[in-house]
A and B are shown apart, each in its own frame.
Chain A
């Protein structure tokens, strides 16, 4: 199974073992050929069309703007369609410190994203709280409230680092299982089995 990114070599990436492990898991549970191919096609679509949610709290957001600006131009990857409404975005790149007051808002934004959705923690503050870790109202990393897919360290991370993180996310998406995996149909059924009274309200 190939997880190639255009004009990037496998050695250019770190943490290849992690991707290998995902590939192994995918192969072990084995899907039939049709579903497998369809999965690949869909994953190709998702990984090449990652629309970010405009969400930045501090310095990292400015570097994200640089990422969109002419020199770095994330449009080359097709990532430039930044959506302001979480319903239409694919991933949320948490750029900046998350504090207690922001935590419920961020959590809600994540819940408002439509599946399949991904989270990138960009910058020291989002990864671990960064220089503000010891403060009375700072979250020590967004992974306390969200499932994070990719961590991008840096304070703030350079645009190149953000590209690297995004490419790692692409690699991760390329080995995910769509049917029976990130597709939420099963989860929805499960939810309604647990909460029959909610049926019909949505």
Chain B
């Protein structure tokens, strides 16, 4: 920790430091870009992963908090705060050339806060219509519905983009750009399309059947969860997480609970921790089964989809008995879980882990082993390990590129530290590897469940929490391994009963970021395969 301070002070003497759950470095805007470059490239630092980008409006100033992770320094995390005073025309240097993942992240910040990023290649709105008035996450946003009525007209000038380019004298100039060339043959895929797994929209410029460029248009299910959370109390914001990535409902909620518990300094009873971990793993199995089914269906093998769903119903039954719902379970609460396990829980889980190995064999027989499936998945959507790190592709997709990035191993939480399980890695860097990681992770999850199912300790299921939960002033960042990658929660509190700012760093958001990179040079049919193998959930991207 201290050597980081030293090194940063050497590069940027103006930086100030603040201790918290991780080191927070505040730098003035003009020094930010050189510091970022050094943080990434300096041999002693090597912060090669840009984990999260959260825009924050501090009222007197406006800016961004960057969370950086260094894989070589045993996954140490630091935060860098960059703030500017100018609220009318805030400008911060873009780091999208250093960490490619920042490309979409900065567009999101621009959309929410109106912060323009200098030298960003494509400064368009990301979630909201391009004729939207105002920046909704600013504290002074005017929510008058007359400014932004329900428009039933199409968005115009979709191709128009802009870049704020800085010349050698430090002058910033807006350069208009076009997303697609005049002669591009652009095929529109989505928002209503069977294979986008929701309402994602891709605009693909094709040459014959070969994809030249993919433009991701998101926001068709952007519900403004982050803004809504600011108006609710901490227990109230929990239910949003179940509705973001509904296939990682337990894990996401677990993450928010952990973050709040960390801020409160609350100890969760061991029984609750074990139950949470078991639910997380069940959720992972259910998610990967759905992913298997959807991949098969997108490739045209409809029958495999039904096989995957058959076993998924078993998992849903377990959820239903204990949590009372098949989806959107609302099970984790601050300090523990809301209800005790159903008496059948142990029996059902045992039945599931007993049946899964034979069923997995069946899946491989029906789908994986098929020569057409192999040909469709292998060598499609190549994503090298370097790109995976640079684009912060975590979860099964990242591990399919041989990047060891499992949050359960790197930042163990709950009882994961005591468990014996393997981090599944594949070296193929293609869609098939991503698919296989998922299938093997089902086995690993079964292994975890088998270790825990007979060892659920007795005791309370919830810690004592105050009636009115107020977090002390400060900021916290917590990560868990959700079904699709590392899910992060940033909570900033000013001591009130409402959070000052909540940022939910979803793994799927980064996954769509590589669509353009991975699809180039492949065919339209491969675009569907790549999307299926990356396995993003749209409401998680849009929030």
Contact = CB atoms under 8 A, between A and B. Distances in A.
Decide if A and B are genuine partners.
yes
B136 interface: yes
B247 A62 contact: yes
Contact of B219 (A71, A99, A134, A135): A99
Interface stretch (B61-69, B190-198, B374-382, B521-529): B190-198
Interface stretch (B144-152, B272-280, B354-362): B144-152
A69 B150 contact: no
Contacts of A137: 128, 136, 148, 222-224
A58 interface: yes
Interface string A53-76: 111111101110110011100000
B412 interface: no
Interface stretch (B22-30, B225-233, B498-506): B225-233
Interface stretch (B166-174, B306-314, B387-395, B437-445): B306-314
B180 interface: no
A67 to B, nearest CB: 10
A21 B59 CA distance: 57
Given A57-B539, A59-B328, A84-B193, A103 B151 contact: yes
Contacts of A87: none
B222 A101 contact: yes
A59 B327 contact: yes
B223 A99 contact: yes
A131 B239 CA distance: 9
Interface in A87-140: 96-97, 99-105, 107, 109, 131-132, 134-139
Interface in A151-170: 155-156, 158
Given A58-B198, A58-B538, A131-B239, A102 B221 contact: yes
B143 A136 contact: yes
Interface residues of A, number: 41
A135 B228 contact: yes
A53 B151 CA distance: 23
A66 B309 contact: yes
B329 to A, nearest CB: 11
A102 B220 contact: yes
23 contacts: A57-B199, A57-B538, A61-B198, A62-B290, A65-B309, A71-B313, A84-B193, A97-B221, A97-B223, A100-B128, A101-B128, A101-B219, A104-B154, A104-B155, A109-B192, A131-B240, A132-B225, A134-B228, A136-B136, A136-B148, A137-B128, A137-B136, A137-B223
Interface of B: 127-129, 132, 136, 141, 143, 148, 150-155, 191-194, 198-199, 219-225, 227-228, 231, 239-240, 243, 246-247, 290, 305-306, 309-310, 312-313, 316, 326-328, 538-539
Given A59-B246, A62-B327, A137-B222, 14 more contacts: A62-B247, A69-B309, A70-B310, A71-B309, A97-B221, A100-B129, A101-B129, A101-B222, A102-B220, A104-B155, A131-B239, A136-B224, A138-B223, A145-B150
